[in-house]
Structure 1
Amino acid sequence: MGIVNLLSNFLDKNRKKEVAYVKMLSGEAPIYSQFGNDIYASDVVLQCFYTIIDEMSKLNPRHVRSQGMDLIPIDDDIQRVLEDPNPLMTFSDFMSKFMFNLLVFENSFVYKQYEGDRLVGLYPLSPTQVTFVEDLRGRLYVKMLFKNGMSTTLPYELLIHQKNHFTVDDLMGGSVGGKRNDAPLLEVLKLNDILLQGVRKALKASLAINGIVKYKTVIDDGVMDEKIKEFEDKLTKNQSGFLGIDSKAEYIPLKRDLAIVDEKLLEFMDDKILRNFKTPVEIVRGNYTAEQYEAWYQICLEPYIISISRTFTKSIFTKREITGFKHQIKLYPKELIFMNTAQTLAMVNLLGQSGTLFENEKRVAFGYPPLKELEGVRLQSLNYVNVEYAREYQTQQKTPIKDGESNDS
């Protein structure tokens, strides 16, 4: 059931296709391994990733068509698939898987299932290796190998391919070979682990031997064992906090100066790790201010939202549908609205009352998706009137107000 069967069926239909490696400008073979997850042993990295994923899973997908400045929602098969991608996942589940692959592997693949020309399903894929090949006509394919040993070759146009940090490689996001460049981060994580080991050792040392009982006479091993047992019994049964011993014994406390790692140093290390993912420690802890969340949204989440919206738009629609009919896939952050809304509210009040904004534009400004019934609707307040005709409006007099006159008369 699910994507495994879909891919197996497709593989059977295309097994005999003759393909060759895609020629890359770098001259390298387009074979990419998706493994290399050493950094995910760090709890700080995982907490950061889960924070980003949880926020992105709150997004609301919407198929819209732009008409001038107005965005018109489209209720069709594409919208229904966006809301319910496949029988195994909600959109939140889908986005969680999609974002995890993107953050971990710098690339995220989605299989588009069609029945004829109708889109009926979206399935996020997690291949361990991908190879780009092309047939004799130059059609691009992606050969995928999965953890269970299954292998399949899919036409690239049946995939949504989201690339993160698309810089060095010709076909994949990330660094050379389509992988994360984790070398600098690994050095920081190793240093952070050393600091945490120091804390663990200091804690263990604080629970070790705290003193020595010195007996002032020479006693044999049997008597020594009895004395030790007697001393331990006194420690166990003592409730007052004071321990009495006779004059034959002397207790010598061990002075221990434990060098505990400074708290600010540990916070600095956490901050240095999280900066790699543009996420402050306050966001991970959940004790952020509205201003901190707004800044994090703009520097971390918003680039993902814009880029994913554009990738889905390009992959799902034809060039004519995009450029001619202005179809788009938009991800609306209603559940993410973070900021002090005073400025947005002031803007909507100012432009909305003058009839400058469409009603759907007002909704979008606050992160709500547009409504079909508000298509093309633009309202204007009647609380404003041309100053020259204020008297006519109020008293039905048709004489314009002259400079220096008051409209109170």
Structure 2
Amino acid sequence: MSIFSKLFHSRQPPKTAPAVLTGSPAYFTPFSGNAYESDVFRAAVDAIARHGAKLHGSHIIRTADGRQPGDDNLNYLLGTRPNPYMSAYDALYKLITHFYAYNDSFGYIQRGDAGIAALYPLDVSGAQFVTDPTDTMYIKFFFQNGKQYILPYSDIIHLRRHFNRNDLLGDDNSAILPAVRLAQTQSDGIVSGIKQGASLRGILKYNQVLAPEKMKQERDAFTADFLNISNNGGVAVTDSMLDFVPLDQKPYSINKAQMDAAKSKIYEYLGISQKIVDSTYSEQEGTAFYESVIEPLAAQMAQEFTAKIFTPIEQQAGNRILFEGDSMEYASYGTRVTTLKESVPFGLFTVDEARQILNMKPIGGEEGKKRLQTLNVVQADKANQYQGVQKK
């Protein structure tokens, strides 16, 4: 936390008050009934975060001539190293994990004299929206070490999920907690059943009165001789001194349908399926996951990063932050080849772009930037020249 102490020390406004729009004051706490402690919930969130963290962030400038690459330093921060302590993948993974685990995810934009200096995902124990006397919005963050820092909301990346009842924050995960508790109870029940089945195998009854110490000795001797894995024959021999009455323990077992029902509730709540979690999805299922989960997430991040990094005037000039992925990564090799066969004749891909679709190394240089096009496809205004017809 000393890292953030240095970053935030000089950014504290002199006086603030809780911010209230149309409802109650907005106060965030990451507590969600420990949903993320559930192995089912965590595995599902991890699957989304792993795929979402592969999105590539970049700064582009949209002009009348098309799309141009933006600032090199900002592109490096977004796509490679947002801060000295984590990669772009790590930063996105953390933001997305908080987004699903807490329904609110925060990131800090560190600005320097030359522009954006670094981007940090924030792991906080609480947050409260406040305003100063000029009604400028701030967030008071509470950290695990007890420190508090107040930062301008304009410097905070804020991603919200289930954005409904509160004016500024997403709703909590209380709706899914019953299913999370059920899944955990089922898991605990399996463990308990295994222990119960191995705890008591039978009753050893002696036909005479023995001292308690003697009974323990006889029990231990019987167990060592007959109830261990070295008893290959599986046969116990007794005399008239004792009787062994075996117990048929049948612990309660949870069937697969019951376990799958609890998992499905959690997966549906997060918008994914079992096959996405265990990476057994088909091409169609992978594409559906990308379009329904990853693409909306990319759109939300792009809009929030753009609004917080650039001023309105800079946005009007065409500055945008994009988070883009390769939807073809879920496509089979045959689909990729078919796509190239249908698209390359129209000059839609450069040589290196086509090679990337096939997971091949780029050629680079001018050769890699060339666009190949069949002679059977020409520009409409040059069709007559191509056919040898002269204008009158």
TM-score, length-scaled by structure 2: 0.81
Instruction: State the partner residue of 1:338.
Output: 330
Residue 81 of structure 1 pairs with residue 91 of structure 2: no
Instruction: State the partner residue of 2:103.
Output: 106
Instruction: State the partner residue of 1:57.
Output: 53
CA distance in 1: counterparts of 2:244 and 2:51, whole angstroms:
59
CA distance in 2: counterparts of 1:61 and 1:112, whole angstroms:
15
Instruction: State the partner residue of 1:94.
Output: 91
Unmatched tracts of structure 1, length 5 or more: 401-409
CA deviation digits over 1:258-294, x for unaligned, max 9? 3311123212222222221112122222333333222
Kept after mapping to 2: 8 A contact 1:2/1:88: no
Residues 243/137 of structure 1: CA separation in 2 closer, same or farther (3 Å cut): closer
Aligned residues: 379
Give 1:230 deviation, angstroms: 5.1
Kept after mapping to 2: 8 A contact 1:70/1:375: no
CA distance in 1: counterparts of 2:97 and 2:116, whole angstroms:
24
CA distance in 2: counterparts of 1:25 and 1:168, whole angstroms:
10
Instruction: State the partner residue of 2:290.
Output: 297
CA distance in 2: counterparts of 1:327 and 1:121, whole angstroms:
18
Residue 207 of structure 1 pairs with residue 203 of structure 2: no
Give 1:364 deviation, angstroms: 12
Residue pairs, 1:190-339, within 5 angstroms: 190-214=181-205, 217-221=207-211, 228=219, 231-235=222-226, 238-246=231-239, 249-324=242-317, 326-334=318-326, 337-339=329-331
Name the SS of the counterpart of 1:114 in structure 2. strand
Residues 113/373 of structure 1: CA separation in 2 closer, same or farther (3 Å cut): farther
TM-score, length-scaled by structure 1: 0.78
CA RMSD after TM alignment: 3.8
CA deviation digits over 1:330-371, x for unaligned, max 9? 22324982123655654554344234x374996799599xx9
CA deviation digits over 1:8-58, x for unaligned, max 9? 1223xx3x3x433334112x2233334344222211111222222222222
Instruction: State the partner residue of 1:7.
Output: 8
Kept after mapping to 2: 8 A contact 1:72/1:372: no
CA deviation digits over 1:225-274, x for unaligned, max 9? 66545533531563322222235554433233333111232122222222
Letter in 2 for 1:184: A
Which deviates the most, 329-338 or 272-281?
329-338
Letter in 2 for 1:208: S
Residue 151 of structure 1 pairs with residue 144 of structure 2: no
Letter in 2 for 1:192: A
Residues 159/225 of structure 1: CA separation in 2 closer, same or farther (3 Å cut): closer
CA distance in 1: counterparts of 2:335 and 2:328, whole angstroms:
17
Letter in 1 for 2:239: D
Kept after mapping to 1: 8 A contact 2:56/2:325: yes
Q: Which has the larger radius of gyration?
A: 1
Name the SS of the counterpart of 2:199 in structure 1. coil
Kept after mapping to 1: 8 A contact 2:340/2:354: no
Residues 234/186 of structure 1: CA separation in 2 closer, same or farther (3 Å cut): same
Unmatched tracts of structure 2, length 5 or more: none
- Identical aligned residues as a percent: 24
Letter in 2 for 1:243: A
Kept after mapping to 2: 8 A contact 1:332/1:367: no
CA distance in 1: counterparts of 2:217 and 2:84, whole angstroms:
72
Give 1:399 deviation, angstroms: 8.8
CA deviation digits over 1:163-220, x for unaligned, max 9? 2232222112x22xxxx1x2331111222233233322321221122233455x5454
CA distance in 1: counterparts of 2:54 and 2:112, whole angstroms:
29
CA distance in 2: counterparts of 1:294 and 1:193, whole angstroms:
31
CA distance in 1: counterparts of 2:320 and 2:368, whole angstroms:
16
Name the SS of the counterpart of 1:127 in structure 2. coil
CA distance in 1: counterparts of 2:175 and 2:354, whole angstroms:
43
Name the SS of the counterpart of 2:105 in structure 1. strand
CA distance in 2: counterparts of 1:351 and 1:92, whole angstroms:
31
